Amino acid sequence: MELRHLRYFIAVAELRSVRAASEQLHVTQPAISRQIQDLEDAIGAVLFERTPRGLKLTAAGTAYLDEARDILTRVDAANRLARRIADGVHGQLRLGFVENAAWIGIVSQAFSAFQQTAPDVALELTPMNTPEQFDAIAAGQLDGGFCYRLGALPQGIAGVPVLEQNVVLAVPQSWSLGSEDAVLASELVGTPFIAFPRRIYPAYYDRLLSACAERGLTLDIRQEASTETAILSLVSAGMGAAIVNAANRHRPPARVRFVELRDLSVPLPLEFCFLSAHTNAALQRFIAQLQ
């Protein structure tokens, strides 16, 4: 049995005429009659009574008509759903992001704009640091994410450049250090610092300490915290200074002051990363919109 058997049956049942169904479907009358006979043989029941006034549904035919209509309605709905998924306007999109990246206009705007253009795609957004995102993307737990790229991307992962950030010094509001809102690295010698453990993001940690060393500054790390939010809370408490992503300026803690580093730079390129061999049409739509 094929869908055309159901379509022919419904047309004949509604029009009560093979001839009328033939004209509507643009199929010859013998072909329709043969398909109806095949359908009855497959079901094992007579669907029509042949009367002088035309065809009349039997009790079995009447019951079958309701079910046939329901089947075709569901098939049509399934076809529409499949097309919407293939067009990237339906489905699911699991995206990661570094928390401070979402405070930058373009990232939050990308989420908002996509939700408006594809409201039937379920967006699942998860804050993660960059190494965690790379692992989740590779494992298929994320479709993509906004990551800070330092060095080559992991194998099989592609990226779309978004913007480039840099670092800034965060100090307690009560400190006089950097009173002119700018300091040299050499002025920070002996300053107690707060940083994150190297295991959180080894590539960034090593690049930061190397950049400091090139300017004659060895960070005197007194406290460690796993996120910049936690680091800034310790700065706010007066526990020390910290070199953090300049994106934090978009959400300054009440008791923290940001100071420019005149001679210290650690570029932080933000990219949207994803599996280069992905098959998610919603992801492709997000990438195209981001670009």
95 & 153 share domain: yes
The two beta strands, 48-51 and 144-148, are: unpaired
Could you tell me which residues come within 8 angstroms of residue 39 by beta carbon, excluding any fewer than 6 positions away? Answer: 1, 5, 6, 8, 9, 47
Q: CA 245 → CA 82, 94, 96, 229, 269, distances in Å? A: 42, 25, 18, 11, 11
Q: Which of 51, 86, 121 is the last residue of a domain?
A: 86
How far apart (Å, rounded) are the C-alpha atoms in residues 196 and 204?
Answer: 10
134 & 278 share domain: yes
Residue 197: predicted pLDDT: 95
255 & 173 share domain: yes
Tell me, yes or no, if the pTM score tops 0.75.
no
201 & 158 share domain: no
Residue 251: predicted pLDDT: 85
259 & 182 share domain: yes
147 & 204 share domain: no
Q: Which of 53, 86, 119 is the last residue of a domain?
A: 86
* Number of structural domains the chain divides into: 3
Residue 124: predicted pLDDT: 95
Binned average pLDDT, 10 residues per bin, the chain of 291 residues: 84 87 87 88 89 84 90 83 74 93 87 91 94 96 95 94 95 83 92 95 94 96 94 96 93 91 95 94 93 89
Q: What is the CATH number of the domain that holds 26?
A: 1.10.10.10
189 & 249 share domain: yes
257 & 191 share domain: yes
74 & 143 share domain: no
43 & 21 share domain: yes
Number of alpha carbons in the 13 Å side-chain half-sphere of residue 30: 0
Q: What is the CATH number of the domain that holds 284?
A: 3.40.190.10
Residue 171: predicted pLDDT: 95
250 & 237 share domain: yes
Residue 178: predicted pLDDT: 65
Place of tokens 């999109």: 93
Q: Which of 20, 52, 86 is the last residue of a domain?
A: 86
Range of the domain at 95: 91-164+269-290
160 & 171 share domain: no
